[in-house]
Amino acid sequence: MTPKIKPYTGAAAGWGAVRAVVNSIRHEMNVQHGLIALFHMNKVDGFDCPGCAWPDPKHTSSFDVCENGAKAVSWEATEKRADAEFFKTHTVDELLGWEPRLLEQSGRLTTPLKYDPSADKYLPIEWEMAFAEIAQKLQSFDDPNVVEFYTSGRASNEAAFLYQLFARVYGTNNFPDCSNMCHEPTSIGLMESIGVGKGTVKLEDFEHCDLVICIGHNPGTNHPRMLTSLREVALRGAKIIAINPMQEVGLTNFISPQNPYEMLTDKGTPLVNDYYHVRVGGDIALMKGVMRCLIELHEKTLSQGREGILDIEFVQNHTNGYRELRTDVLNTDWQHIVESCGLSEEDIQRLAASYASSQSTIICYGMGITQHEHGTRNVQQLVNLLLLKGNIGKKGAGICPLRGHSNVQGDRTVGITEKPSSELLHNLNKRFGFIPPSQFGHSAIESMKAICNGKSKALICLGGNFAAAMPDYAVTYPKLKELELTVHLATKLNTSHLLVSKNSYVFPVLGRTEKDLQKGTYQFVSVEDSMSVVHSSCGVLTPASEDLKSECEIIAGIAKATLGQEKVNWDELKSNYDKIRDHIEEVFPDFSNYNERVRKPGGFTLTNSAAERRWSTASGRANFVVASNLLEDPMIANKKGIVLATVRSHDQYNTTIYGMDDRYRGVYGQRDVLFLSKETARSMSINEGERVNIIALESDGTRSDRRMNKLKVVIYKMADKTAATYFPESNHMLTLDHFDEKSGIPAYKSIPVEIEIFD
Ligand X SMILES: Nc1nc2c(c(=O)[nH]1)N[C@H]1C(S)=C(S)[C@@H](COP(=O)(O)OP(=O)(O)OC[C@H]3O[C@@H](n4cnc5c(=O)[nH]c(N)nc54)[C@H](O)[C@@H]3O)O[C@H]1N2
Point out which residues bind Mo ion (CB under 5 A).
182, 404
Partner whose binding site includes residue 463, from Mo ion, ligand X, none (CB under 5 to 8 Å by kind): ligand X
Residue 104 parent element (H or E) = helix 100-105
The full DSSP string for 232-276 is HHHHTT-EEEEE-SB--HHHHEEE-TT-HHHHHHT--EE--SEEE
Nearer to ligand X, 411 or 585 (CB): 411
Nearer to Mo ion, 38 or 408 (CB): 408
Nearer to Mo ion, 255 or 745 (CB): 745
Whether the CB-CB separation of 446 and 561 falls below 8 Å is answered with no
- Distances in whole angstroms, Cα of residue 193 to Cα of each of 199, 359, 380, 599, 609: 12, 22, 7, 34, 13
- Distances in whole angstroms, Cα of residue 168 to Cα of each of 420, 427, 434: 10, 13, 9
Whether the CB-CB separation of 253 and 268 falls below 8 Å is answered with yes
Nearer to ligand X, 371 or 536 (CB): 371
Whether the CB-CB separation of 121 and 113 falls below 8 Å is answered with no
Partner whose binding site includes residue 651, from Mo ion, ligand X, none (CB under 5 to 8 Å by kind): none
List interacting residues with ligand X (CB under 6 A). Answer: 51-52, 68, 104, 152, 154, 178, 181-182, 215-218, 221-222, 243-246, 248, 278, 280-281, 283, 366-368, 371, 402, 404-405, 462-466, 469, 489-492, 494, 509, 511-512, 551, 645-648, 652-656, 727-728, 730-731, 748-749
Report the C-alpha gap between 641 and 591 in whole angstroms.
49
Nearer to Mo ion, 146 or 182 (CB): 182
Report the C-alpha gap between 340 and 332 in whole angstroms.
12
Query: Minimal distance in Å, beta carbon 536 to Mo ion?
Result: 23
Nearer to Mo ion, 195 or 404 (CB): 404
Query: Minimal distance in Å, beta carbon 681 to ligand X?
Result: 17
Looking only at the bridges linking them, the beta strands covering 691-697 and 703-715 are: antiparallel
Partner whose binding site includes residue 221, from ligand X, Mo ion, none (CB under 5 to 8 Å by kind): ligand X
Whether the CB-CB separation of 292 and 329 falls below 8 Å is answered with yes
Nearest to 554 by CA among 8, 51, 134: 134
Nearer to ligand X, 18 or 425 (CB): 18
Query: Minimal distance in Å, beta carbon 215 to ligand X?
Result: 5
Nearer to Mo ion, 405 or 712 (CB): 405
Per-residue DSSP letter, 172 = -
Partner whose binding site includes residue 185, from Mo ion, ligand X, none (CB under 5 to 8 Å by kind): none
Number of H helices, E strands in the chain: 32, 33
The amino acid occupying position 282 is G
Task: Give the contacts of 440 (CB within 8 A, at least 6 positions apart).
Answer: 173, 418, 419, 420
Q: Torsions phi, psi of 753, nearest 5?
A: -135, 160
Query: Minimal distance in Å, beta carbon 297 to ligand X?
Result: 23
Query: Minimal distance in Å, beta carbon 221 to ligand X?
Result: 5
Partner whose binding site includes residue 573, from ligand X, Mo ion, none (CB under 5 to 8 Å by kind): none
Nearer to ligand X, 256 or 731 (CB): 731
Report the 10 Å Cβ neighbour count for 549.
21
Report the C-alpha gap between 391 and 208 in whole angstroms.
12
Task: Give the contacts of 542 (CB within 8 A, at least 6 positions apart).
Answer: 514, 515
Q: What share of the chain is helix, strand, coil (3-state, %, to 5)?
A: 40, 20, 40
Partner whose binding site includes residue 557, from Mo ion, ligand X, none (CB under 5 to 8 Å by kind): none
Nearer to ligand X, 182 or 348 (CB): 182
- Distances in whole angstroms, Cα of residue 170 to Cα of each of 64, 181, 420, 483: 43, 25, 15, 19
Query: Minimal distance in Å, beta carbon 491 to Mo ion?
Result: 17
Question: From the CA atom positions of the chain, what is the Rg in Å?
Answer: 25
Query: Minimal distance in Å, beta carbon 248 to ligand X?
Result: 5
Partner whose binding site includes residue 371, from ligand X, Mo ion, none (CB under 5 to 8 Å by kind): ligand X
Report the C-alpha gap between 217 and 181 in whole angstroms.
15
Partner whose binding site includes residue 144, from ligand X, Mo ion, none (CB under 5 to 8 Å by kind): none
Alpha helices (H) in 342-421, listed in sequence order: 345-356, 367-370, 375-388, 408-413
Report the C-alpha gap between 18 and 134 in whole angstroms.
46
Query: Minimal distance in Å, beta carbon 464 to ligand X?
Result: 3
Partner whose binding site includes residue 222, from ligand X, Mo ion, none (CB under 5 to 8 Å by kind): ligand X
Nearer to ligand X, 77 or 181 (CB): 181
Nearer to ligand X, 622 or 635 (CB): 635
Nearer to Mo ion, 54 or 166 (CB): 54
Query: Minimal distance in Å, beta carbon 1 to ligand X?
Result: 20
Nearer to Mo ion, 268 or 366 (CB): 366
Partner whose binding site includes residue 131, from ligand X, Mo ion, none (CB under 5 to 8 Å by kind): none
The full DSSP string for 568-608 is S-HHHHHH-HHHHHHHHHHHSGGGTTHHHHTTSTT-EE---
Whether the CB-CB separation of 644 and 627 falls below 8 Å is answered with no
Query: Minimal distance in Å, beta carbon 381 to ligand X?
Result: 11
Burial classification of residue 545, based on how many CB atoms lie within 10 Å of its CB (0-12 exposed, 13-18 middle, 19 or more buried) = middle
Partner whose binding site includes residue 248, from Mo ion, ligand X, none (CB under 5 to 8 Å by kind): ligand X
Query: Minimal distance in Å, beta carbon 184 to ligand X?
Result: 10
Q: How many CA atoms are closer than 13 Å to the CA of 292, on its beta-carbon side?
A: 21
Nearest to 55 by CA among 513, 407, 531: 531
Query: Minimal distance in Å, beta carbon 647 to ligand X?
Result: 4
The closest residue (CB) to Mo ion is 404
Query: Minimal distance in Å, beta carbon 747 to ligand X?
Result: 10
Nearer to Mo ion, 137 or 154 (CB): 154
